[in-house]
Amino acid sequence: MKVDRLVSIIMILLDKERIGAQELAELFEVSPRTIYRDIDTINMAGIPVRSTSGVGGGFEIMQEYKIDKKVFSTDDLSAILMGLSSLSNMMRGNELVNALAKVKSFIPADRAKDIELKANQLCIDLSPWMGNRNIQPYLEMIKAALQESKLLSFEYIAHHGNKTARTVEPYQLVLKSSYWYLHGYCHKRNDFRLFRLSRISNLQMLEETFTPRDYEKPILDFADILETMQTKIKLRIHKSVMDRVLDYCTYEDFLPDDDEHYIVRFPFIENEYYYNILFSFGDKCECLEPLHIRTEMKRRIHDIAAIYDT
């Protein structure tokens, strides 16, 4: 993992006067080109590393730059520990354990308690309370495929329950709104696609490798697009579902109706997903306006009731 490698390189430069690119490359089992990129990253972070060529050349921290373990402030170390600890909650692996251990070695004894307190002030744990338990082993397999540029095969449940077999070149793991996605080039669609891991089954890493294509990260922010598509409908809800309705709108959209109910201006798009959201509130929610959506809700309720009449 890059964070682990960068921290390790900084520690090596603290301990050694000079070390060559090839020696670092062999130590971390990466190419010299990768090491040069890492050194550039360290320089951009404000630690000036000088490169000298020739016999006995290599990388070293500039002599006039006074650096010691205090190069990281309390806030710096707290933020790094907070981020690595949160990552370790979601993705397991020796590289994260090693990175945590190495960062902790920077902590002076007299600041340890303060840094630990700050690092524990924020906890990010996006693992599900319940649900699909295949996610963790799938994450590990996809990580391995990403590192080795190997193809993945799996079955995928798409919209309307359609199940298809896919072969995909993996390019990125995406965590969005507490759900994991695989972004990759799908051989079936001949294009890049985003696959939600909870809808993947029978995931396998193939022996076949691929040459990475020109790649653009997926568009993940649809706020502006949704704003143009959504309309506000009027709901009457019971206060018992207010906490769940607040997942989709704000307090400003609520107007008290009586001691037990609220009138809500609810963002809505006329598709299956949004109708299912309304139905998830059960009999604690009534659509008041517009009339055509209220009528469609009645039709769907009738169809559901008909299933139980047989």
Instruction: Give the HSE-up count for residue 276: Cα atoms under 13 Å, Cβ half-sphere.
Output: 3
Looking at the chain, list the stretches that DSSP marks H as alpha helix, in order from N- to C-terminal side.
Answer: 2-15, 21-28, 32-44, 74-90, 94-104, 112-119, 135-148, 223-229, 242-245, 272-280, 291-307
pLDDT at 41: 82
Same domain, 61 and 80: no
Nearest residue to 208 (alpha-carbon basis) of 261, 148, 272, 121 = 148
Q: 41-69, pLDDT tens digit by residue? A: 888 777 788 888 777 778 887 765 544 54
User: Does residue 79 share a domain with residue 59?
Assistant: no
Q: Are 261 and 205 found together in one domain?
A: no
Does 105 or 18 have the greater pLDDT score? Answer: 18
| Residue 188 reports pLDDT greater than 70 | yes
167: domain CATH number is 2.30.30
Tell me if 96 is assigned to some domain. Answer: yes
Q: What is the pLDDT of residues 266-282, one digit of tens each?
A: 999 999 989 999 999 99
Torsion angle, alpha carbons of 238, 243, 245, 250, to 10: 120
d(CA 300, CA 43): 61
Q: Which is more confident, 82 or 31?
A: 31
- Tell whether 29 and 56 lie within a shared domain: yes
- Verify that 102 and 145 share a domain, yes or no: no
142 and 185, same domain (yes or no) = yes
Contacts of residue 186, Cβ cutoff 8 Å, sequence gap at least 6: 166, 167, 168, 192, 193
Residue 189 lies in a domain: yes
CATH number at residue 59: 1.10.10.10
**Domain assignment present for 24:** yes
> Residue 106's domain spans which residues?
74-119
Count of structural domains, the chain: 4
Last residue of a domain, one of 149, 181, 209: 209
Q: What is the pLDDT of residue 5?
A: 77
One domain for residues 52 and 13: yes
Q: Same domain for 109 and 51?
A: no
Confidence of residue 82 (pLDDT cuts 50, 70, 90): low
Does the residue 217 lie in any domain?
no
Token reading at 245: 């309705």
Residue 52 and residue 10 share a domain: yes
Q: Is residue 99 part of a domain?
A: yes
Residue with tokens 């990125």: 172
Domain boundary among 67, 85, 101: 67
